Amino acid sequence: MKASLQAKMGQSMTLTPQLLQSIRLLQVTSLQLEQELQQVLERNPLLEQETEEDESAPPSDADTAAQETAAWDELPEPMFLSGGGHAGDAEDDATARIAAGESSDPRQRLLQQLQLRCDARELAMAAYWLDRCDDRGYLEEEPQALARQGAAQLADALPDATCETLLDARQRLLLDGEWPGMAAADPGECLLAQLRALPAGDARALALRIVGEHLDLLASHDHAALAARLKSSPDAVAAAVALILSLQPHPVEQPPEPETAAIVPDVITWRAADGWQVRLSARSAPRLRLCAYAEQASGHEGMRGLLEEARWLLRSLGIRNETLLKTARVLVTRQQAFLERGEEAIAPLTLKEVAEEIGVHESTVSRITTGKYIQTPRGTLELKRLFAVRLEGAEVSGTAIKAMVRRLIEDEPAHAPLGDEVIAAMLARQGIRVARRTVAKYREQLSIAPARLRRRERNPRTRGASRTRRCGWAERVAQGRTKQGRT
């Protein structure tokens, strides 16, 4: 191979921490912004929050700097706001590749924990087993087959990695104190591993026998048969069953359901005598300013960095607020019919159209409308709700047609439900030509049954005939174990 030197010219862009902060502030919600600014106020003594008394006072030089809103042509080209470089793809979002503090993959987090107490050989075998687990933590194939494949695959890197050593590594992973049941072959093995990790006791001993020998009786909730088979008292069986039901059905614990948070509107719009008015809510546009002694502190070397940080934050907040207000005004102006008459009047509107009207990149509009809400006379709506895709071949949006389909079905005669073809014909008489399959697609998205099933549901003789019994937790465990045994 011959070494050579080659000169190459190209353009690239470096995303500094300050520029990344400007992009990130575009997409944070009002609650996130409030928490972040509170942390900044605690960290930077040159910033302070304005009070209601301060707002009535004449603006000072520090207030002027705080209220300065940067023009978008002073920043890099709109390509920057999409995260792309001049030599790259404009649709590629570089900010999406910023590393998070911790991996969301539980297998990667477990490997990081194992690094603290395992050598390189044990870690490599543990990584092999974790790579063969699904998102729930179960092995995707039979352990013996995977052990044979692993011995052949790791022969070069680990010459002493045999089927037996790999199976021993899986057993240690299975009984790991922090993640018991990981790399289990079936739900029964997962439950046994979790039980073995618990302190010894009569209930634990009986639970081990139930899971290992009588999981079918547990799934059928036949406690009397369990007591007879185990020759134990009903109270002891009940305590063992309660212990089993307290375990995790999967090795990887599912994340808890997020708590329902109150929606705080970022923008408020109302109809006044001279038209629709739009303004930012107080929590969406917090008012910060530089302290009175900030300029004097600029001569101090230790304060110079804090002053630069404060000025850039105020500038970034100005960009965020101005962009949010401009975007909301365009959305309200273009969707006045929707705000006045409802979903059937929503007009086709895309991110690109709004971006061209306010003079920013399309990805900037996407960021500033993500997770933001607007308070309207029709309720508090997500800003994304005001966008609608134009249906091909029609002058109205798909959202409007979907609302029309819902209204027609709600108003249909109870004894003669409307079919998809009939609904398409009724829309055509209104000048909206859509195919039958389009009506069927919107009907399915609205979770509305076909006409023949709606007629059957309204018949009292057949009502409730299609109800099915839901399986409980124990039934699902037993079904998973039976399926594993068949394979």
pLDDT tens digits, one per residue of 432-484 = 777 888 888 888 888 888 887 777 665 554 444 433 333 344 445 445 544 44
Is 246's pLDDT higher than 70?
yes
- State the average pLDDT for the chain: 75
pTM of the model: 0.48
Residue 121 contacts residue 112 (beta carbons within 8 Å): no
Report pLDDT for 12.
Answer: 58
Q: How far is CA 456 from CA 288, 421, 440, in A?
A: 62, 19, 18
Over residues 336-370, the pLDDT tens digits come to 988 888 887 788 888 999 999 999 888 889 989 98
Q: What angle do CA 196, 198, 203 make, to 5 degrees?
A: 90
pLDDT band for 322, please (50, 70, 90 cuts). very high
Q: Tell me, what amino acid is at 383?
A: L
Helical residues (DSSP H) of 175-263, grouped into ranges = 187-196, 202-213, 215-219, 223-230, 234-245
Average pLDDT of span 379-392: 82
CA-CA distance, 193 to 372, in Å (whole number)?
45
Average pLDDT of span 379-400: 78
Report pLDDT for 67.
Answer: 39
Over residues 262-277, the pLDDT tens digits come to 788 899 999 988 889 9
Domain spans of the chain?
398-448
pLDDT band for 13, please (50, 70, 90 cuts). low
Fold of 398-448: Arc Repressor Mutant, subunit A (1.10.10)
pLDDT band for 71, please (50, 70, 90 cuts). very low
Over residues 468-480, the pLDDT tens digits come to 333 344 445 445 5
Is 485's pLDDT higher than 70?
no
Nearest CA-CA partner of 182 in 255, 104, 114, 257? 114
Is 238's pLDDT higher than 70?
yes
- Tell me which residue has tokens 């919600």: 29
End-to-end CA distance of the chain: 52
Residue 244 contacts residue 221 (beta carbons within 8 Å): no
Report pLDDT for 357.
Answer: 92
- Range scoring the smallest mean pLDDT among 20-24, 75-79, 198-202: 75-79
pLDDT band for 87, please (50, 70, 90 cuts). very low
Angle between helix axes 223-230 and 202-213 (nearest 10 degrees) is 100
460 token code pair:
């009292």
Which helix (H) or strand (E) segment holds residue 406: the answer is helix 398-410
Average pLDDT of span 310-333: 90
- Tell me which residue has tokens 């709600």: 410
CA-CA distance, 330 to 317, in Å (whole number)?
20
pLDDT band for 17, please (50, 70, 90 cuts). low
Nearest CA-CA partner of 352 in 360, 344, 342, 362? 362
327 token code pair:
């975007």
CA-CA distance, 147 to 166, in Å (whole number)?
6
Average pLDDT of span 105-112: 74
Report pLDDT for 486.
Answer: 45
Residue with the bigger pLDDT between 71 and 402: it is 402
Report pLDDT for 435.
Answer: 80
Report pLDDT for 469.
Answer: 37
SS3 349: strand
To the nearest whole percent, how much of the chain has pLDDT over 90? 7
Average pLDDT of span 326-338: 92
Average pLDDT of span 107-133: 81
Report pLDDT for 327.
Answer: 94
Listing DSSP states for 174-185 in one string gives HT-SSSTTTTBS
